[in-house]
Amino acid sequence: MGVEPQSCRQHGNIKTCTYVKPNELVQVAIDEDEQVLAFSVTVTTRGFTPTLTWAGRPIVLGKTSIEQALSGPSFVPDRVTGYADMRSWGYLESSGSFGVANFQECAIGVSNKGYVDDSSSLGIGHPVSDLLERAVNPTRRGSPYPWPGKEVSWASREKTQEFFNAAAVQDYRRHAIMNTMVLTAPNVDVTTLHELVP
């Protein structure tokens, strides 16, 4: 990585480490054999727009909208998750169709850990954050603000479809510029590794 990790945490037999670089935040999950099980890249500087290729498709962090990244018949999003609390927020989509490449899974999203502009914002009070909270935590009652900090799980497929059908969500996906990309091994659920969720 070129720098020492800022922090590392142990989750059973998986260790997650965070590396802070001048233009990006890189977070990795490794097992006891030092095999990388998952990693997340979040751009943190305006104008730093690296291109990552996945399944033959270029994805430009800090430049490509969520809709552009997951558009086309073979790139249909099928899972969504997110969180918002008083200090931070994050949003992540995954497409099962990405899993054909190298037996890995890919998710993209937006986080206030990285550079964001108004079109990317999903802060407290944004209509999409209310819809997302209902999709991810459908049994919660009362005011959704603030959400429990970083309690993240994928919404059910039914709730995910309902979420994507909302006009506010469709508009958000057209304009939100993603700043985060996560790659995982197929048996790793990134939502159980909170450090890797944007």
Indicate if the alpha-carbon torsion angle 177, 179, 184, 187 is positive or negative: negative
Per mean pLDDT, which range of 25-39, 73-87, 112-126, 136-150 is the poorest? Answer: 136-150
Q: What are phi and psi of 100, to 5 degrees?
A: -75, -20
pTM score = 0.84
Q: Is residue 97 very low, low, confident or very high in pLDDT (cuts 50, 70, 90)?
A: low
What is the spatial distance between Cα 4 and Cα 140, in angstroms, rounded to a whole number?
A: 40
What is the spatial distance between Cα 158 and Cα 79, in angstroms, rounded to a whole number?
A: 10
The DSSP letter of residue 65 is B
Per mean pLDDT, which range of 59-68, 130-139, 146-155 is the poorest? Answer: 146-155
Q: Are 115 and 45 in contact (CB under 8 A)?
A: yes
Beta-bridge partner residues of 43: 24
> What average pLDDT does the structure give for the chain?
81
**Per-residue model confidence as pLDDT tens digits over 145-196:** 555 566 678 899 899 999 999 999 999 999 999 999 888 887 788 887 777 7
| Residue 155 Cα distances to 81, 134, 137, 162, angstroms | 6, 9, 8, 10
Q: Are 77 and 95 in contact (CB under 8 A)?
A: yes
* Distance, CA of 109 to chain centre: 4
Burial class of residue 33 in the structure, from the number of CB atoms within 10 Å of its CB (0-12 exposed, 13-18 middle, 19+ buried)? exposed
Per mean pLDDT, which range of 21-30, 135-144, 165-174 is the poorest? Answer: 135-144
Q: Are 3 and 17 in contact (CB under 8 A)?
A: no
Determine how many CB atoms are found less than 10 A away from the CB of residue 196: 25
pLDDT higher for 85 or 33? Answer: 33
Q: Are 107 and 190 in contact (CB under 8 A)?
A: yes
Highest mean pLDDT among 57-66, 73-82, 119-128: 57-66
